[in-house]
Structure 1
Amino acid sequence: MVVKLRTYRGEDIPEWYKREDLDELYEVEDNEGDVQLLEDDEEAVKLVVDLTYEDENPPKPE
């Protein structure tokens, strides 16, 4: 699956999401255009990896 990761820093953070204590914001967009915003870089990377390999590990039938 194609996944996009964008990093917003400082003045690049969208106005509606800005806070004084927020230095970076991570936007993860999946193949279907669903977007998730995360403030933690490790969580963003984990999400990118999970989404990228999602199709390779189909859920096991119960």
Structure 2
Amino acid sequence: MYIPRTTLWVLLILFGLAPSIKLWILSDISAWYRPYILWGILIIIVFISQQVRHKTERRQ
């Protein structure tokens, strides 16, 4: 089973920042821009994973 390097980095970063992410999600101050940041991060992760997948398909 192959796991892309980008996915491993994202999981490692999320694991390392878990306490501060939890505090950020529970705070009321950043509530208005939180969805935009989360959607932006999701779009970037999907974009990078698609590029990695496209490169591996070209090699074969």
Higher RCO (C-alpha 8 Å, min separation 6): 2
Q: Which has the larger radius of gyration?
A: 2
Query: If each structure's strand is expressed as a fraction of its own residues, which one has the higher value?
Result: 1
TM-score by length of 1: 0.36
TM-score by length of 2: 0.37
Query: If each structure's helix is expressed as a fraction of its own residues, which one has the higher value?
Result: 2
